[in-house]
C-alpha cells in the first residue's frame, strides 16, 4: 500500500465510480480497477461494493478513508516544513462562517494580502459542522467556527466575540409575539449551523414549536426573507445592524446566558503551523475588535 493507491481509493470513494475516478486521475478504468483490487487483496477486505450504477464504499472502506487525507497532509506538511524559511509564502486554505466572513474578515484579509503577497490565500465558507469536519480531515489549514466545540484532534482559540439576537420582521414588537404567528418558520442556514441549533433552543424555551425550517445558503437571503415577514432567525447583532438601522428588521435581545457566542479559530493539533498560518493568526488576533452592542 502506498500513497498513490490511497489517492486512487479516495477518488473512487468520492465519485462512487471507477470510470469517473479514472477521468480525474488521467488514466484508464482498467488501471483503477486493478489498483483497487490489489489494495483490497493486500488489506484482506472489500473496500467497495460493486453494483450496476458504480460502487459504494463498504464499512471497512469508510474506516480507511479518514487516513487518506491525513497521510496526504503529512506529506504536504513535510514538504512545507522542509522549505519553510520563515518567510510566509505558498498556499493557505482557511474556512469561515458566512457571518464571520461578512462581518469580520474584510479588514483582516486586506491587511494580510498586502503584507504577505507571496501567500496564495483562499477562503471557503460553510457551517460550523462542515468546517470542523474539513479541518479534522485535513482539507483546510484551519477555520473560524462558532463555539463551543470539543474535539480531541483540534486546538481552538477564541478570536472574535459576538452578541446574538432574535431577528424578525419590523412589525413583530416583542419576542412573545412570535407565539401568536401561525406557521412560524425559522429562516436559517443548512443543517450544521450552530446559530440554527441555538435558535431551536431559544424558541423551544419560549414554548414555540416551528414548522420545517427554510434553509438558505447566503446571509443576504436570510435577512431579506426575515425582513419580508417570512419568519425568524438568530444572528450576531452586528451582522444585521445596517438592516436594523434602515428599519428593515426588528432586533430582540436574548437573556444574558444566551446572548454571547465566541468565534473560534480551529486547527489540527498535529498539523504543521506554517509561516503563512502563523502570520495569519497574528493578524487575526491584532484585528480582534471591541464587541458591538
What mean pLDDT is predicted for residues 239-247? 93
Residue 293's pLDDT is 35
- Tell me what the pLDDT averaged over the chain comes to: 90
Instruction: Give 171-191 pLDDT, tens digit per residue.
Output: 999 988 988 888 889 999 887
Bigger pLDDT: 70 vs 125: 125
Residue 290's pLDDT is 42
Opening angle at CA 179, ends 219 and 168, nearest 5: 25
| pTM for this entry | 0.73
Residue 289's pLDDT is 55
Residue 9's pLDDT is 93
What mean pLDDT is predicted for residues 225-229? 93
Instruction: Give 145-171 pLDDT, tens digit per residue.
Output: 998 899 999 999 999 999 999 999 999
Residue 292's pLDDT is 38
How far lies 206's CA from each of 43, 80, 201, 209, in Å?
Answer: 54, 52, 9, 9
Residue 111's pLDDT is 95
Opening angle at CA 217, ends 200 and 193, nearest 5: 35
d(CA 20, CA 251): 49
Residue 138's pLDDT is 85
How far lies 279's CA from each of 76, 107, 119, 202, in Å?
Answer: 19, 15, 10, 38
Residue 181's pLDDT is 84
Confidence of residue 192 (pLDDT cuts 50, 70, 90): confident
Confidence of residue 288 (pLDDT cuts 50, 70, 90): low
Q: Which of 2-16, 31-45, 65-79, 269-283 has the lowest mean pLDDT?
A: 65-79
Instruction: Give 103-156 pLDDT, tens digit per residue.
Output: 899 999 999 999 999 999 999 999 999 999 999 988 899 999 998 899 999 999
Domains of the chain in start order, with CATH, are: 3-80 (1.10.10.10), 88-161+262-286 (3.40.190.10), 162-260 (3.40.190.10)
d(CA 39, CA 288): 49
Q: Please state whether beta strands 142-146 and 90-96 pair in parallel, antiparallel, or not at all (unpaired).
A: parallel
Residue 183's pLDDT is 83
289 with 160: CB under 8 angstroms? yes
Amino acid at each position: 500500500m502506498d500513497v498513490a493507491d490511497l489517492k486512487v481509493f479516495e477518488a473512487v470513494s468520492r465519485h462512487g465510480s471507477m470510470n469517473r475516478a479514472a477521468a480525474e486521475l488521467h488514466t484508464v478504468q482498467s488501471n483503477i480497477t486493478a489498483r483497487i483490487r490489489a489494495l483490497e487483496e493486500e488489506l484482506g477486505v472489500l473496500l467497495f461494493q460493486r453494483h450496476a450504477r458504480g460502487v459504494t464504499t463498504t464499512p471497512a472502506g469508510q474506516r480507511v478513508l479518514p487516513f487518506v487525507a491525513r497521510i496526504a497532509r503529512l506529506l504536504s506538511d513535510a514538504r512545507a516544513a522542509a522549505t519553510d524559511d520563515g518567510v510566509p509564502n505558498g498556499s493557505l486554505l482557511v474556512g469561515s462562517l458566512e457571518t464571520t466572513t461578512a462581518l469580520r474578515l474584510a479588514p483582516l484579509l486586506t491587511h494580510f494580502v498586502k503584507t504577505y503577497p507571496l501567500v496564495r490565500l483562499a477562503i471557503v465558507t460553510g457551517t460550523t459542522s462542515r468546517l470542523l469536519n474539513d479541518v479534522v480531515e485535513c482539507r483546510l489549514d484551519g477555520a473560524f467556527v462558532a463555539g463551543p466545540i470539543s474535539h480531541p484532534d483540534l486546538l481552538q482559540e477564541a478570536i472574535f466575540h459576538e452578541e446574538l439576537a432574535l431577528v424578525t420582521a419590523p412589525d413583530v414588537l416583542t419576542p412573545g409575539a412570535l407565539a401568536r404567528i401561525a406557521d412560524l418558520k425559522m429562516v436559517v442556514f443548512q443543517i450544521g449551523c450552530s446559530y440554527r441549533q441555538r435558535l431551536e433552543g431559544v424558541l423551544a424555551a419560549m414554548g414555540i414549536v416551528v414548522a420545517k425550517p427554510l434553509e438558505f445558503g447566503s446571509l443576504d437571503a436570510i435577512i431579506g426573507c426575515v425582513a419580508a415577514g417570512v419568519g425568524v432567525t438568530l444572528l450576531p447583532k452586528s451582522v444585521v445592524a445596517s438592516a436594523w438601522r434602515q428599519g428593515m428588521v426588528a432586533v430582540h435581545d436574548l437573556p444574558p446566558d444566551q446572548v454571547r457566542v465566541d468565534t473560534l479559530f480551529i486547527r489540527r493539533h498535529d498539523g504543521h503551523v506554517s509561516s503563512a498560518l502563523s502570520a495569519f493568526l497574528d493578524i487575526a488576533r491584532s484585528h480582534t475588535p471591541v464587541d458591538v452592542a
